[in-house]
Structure 1
């Protein structure tokens, strides 16, 4: 039985019910604007991309249109690449790194690959600077049939029409100090489990797919990002977030089993980036630049392997 209180909501050892979730929701406040930060940036790219609204979320009287940027000169004979950001809304450089890539770098790949950029999968979470959606559900554990997260279900529907054509998918994330101070304790409380403290990696790392590891692909990304920001070393136990690295800066997870966004396609080349924005050695600009460097390296490697 769990008796120690480590989170202000709920009873230790008892999963949250509707009352606890309502209490949690009442504590969430809008702290930034999806319209100002993301939608306007997407609108500014309409002269270069086909902007596709692939869904709309409705939460307690608020509406959030979901947008994807697609290559304007879409060529059926070319492979496709998917770039996703903001699956966890609070992970800022995932959103702004995806937008920066679309604005400044996507043109370099015209005629080589069809691009689909989804910069903000979870707009409610973006505005609240939160990991979950308004129902206290983590979208990045919800890429499963009959998904409990509207964010995940909408992206799965978008991607379904492209299955078999996507060559590479890179999902842009961050690991922050608040993972340990806020979100992991909340997760344990929500699920009625004990909170087991961990450590936050000091630097950038990648999460590949243990079911189809691509060590050369992951190394190419790490090498590119190392020119922009530092790569996370293992902790004192030789691990990164509890996993033994497959190579420097890379761990592997069973992505589909865990319902992670990087499993949403059948692409042979997939990875999740993890930027560390709370490092005194990294600026917000470096974090965005690291995401862009990762996207470029992922595309360059995959296209070279395919002779494209």
Structure 2
């Protein structure tokens, strides 16, 4: 049982309908600028990379171009690496970690791999520091055929021509204190189910694929990130966010059945990063560094073992 007050929208035990979604939407306010903080960085990269618009996200009165950064001199014989960030818009280092990797490290892989980087999959949610899109849909449960989320559908269309050639996919995320204070209570209210409190892990961890876990790959990424920030320990049950810890800092999910972004390709090497930006032991800069370090370690391992 929990003494937490009911979520302020909806009736406990009753899934939301259009009125509740509209009430939730009316509470969402722009808190930062996708144009100023993301698009300007991408524009700086145009002299070095190809920038492609792979969709337009329209939530009236707002509209957002969906942009990806692509290797200049793309070569069909090279393996492809996919980096995604901002699937959950509130997970800031996912976005800025992807941009940091593009700005500071992507040139290292010229002639070795084709890079495709989608740094901010959910710009509406980025501006509002939220997990969902404007329709109260979680894009990271929506990577499936006939997706209800425009963000997810657009990314799948972008990736489809290269899907079978992708060697590595790193999807950059965060686990934050607001997961427990706002987003999980909102999810329970939206779905008309009881909210069961959980525990937020203090540190970085990875989510591998139950169907193809690649433990050596995951541990190589963990080892690289450990040089930048601390790794989340298991809780008293030997778990992280309710899943068994299979190696230090690693849990596994059924990525594709759950409709998660990291499951959109058949890449043999795939992982979802989770940084904890609210830790007193980590700064925003460390979080961005950790995300970039994870991408670099993932590519390095895959190239060495392919």
TM-score interval, smaller chain: over 0.9
What TM-score does the superposition give when structure 1 sets the normalisation length? 0.98
Q: Does 1:192 align with 2:187?
A: no
Q: Post-superposition shift, 1:4?
A: 8.1
Match runs of 1:1-308 below 5 Å: 6-306=6-306
- 1:3–1:12: 8 Å Cα contact kept in structure 2? no
- 1:210–1:253: 8 Å Cα contact kept in structure 2? yes
- 1:166–1:267: 8 Å Cα contact kept in structure 2? yes
Counterpart-to-counterpart distance in 1, 2:184 and 2:39: 30
Q: Post-superposition shift, 1:6?
A: 2.1
Counterpart-to-counterpart distance in 2, 1:239 and 1:267: 26
Counterpart-to-counterpart distance in 1, 2:22 and 2:5: 19
What TM-score does the superposition give when structure 2 sets the normalisation length? 0.98
Q: SS at 2:257's partner residue?
A: helix
Counterpart-to-counterpart distance in 2, 1:182 and 1:89: 14
Q: What RMSD, in angstroms, separates the aligned Cα atoms of the two structures? A: 1.2
- 1:6–1:195: 8 Å Cα contact kept in structure 2? no
Alpha-carbon deviations, 1:190-240, whole Å to 9, x = none?
A: 000000000000000000000011001000000000000000001111110
Counterpart-to-counterpart distance in 2, 1:216 and 1:66: 34
Alpha-carbon deviations, 1:261-299, whole Å to 9, x = none?
A: 000111110000000000000000000000000000000
- 1:204–1:273: 8 Å Cα contact kept in structure 2? yes
Instruction: In structure 2, list runs of 5 or more residues that go unmatched.
Output: none
Aligned residues: 305
Counterpart-to-counterpart distance in 2, 1:270 and 1:57: 26
Instruction: In structure 1, list runs of 5 or more residues that go unmatched.
Output: none
Q: SS at 1:44's partner residue?
A: helix
Q: Post-superposition shift, 1:5?
A: 5.0
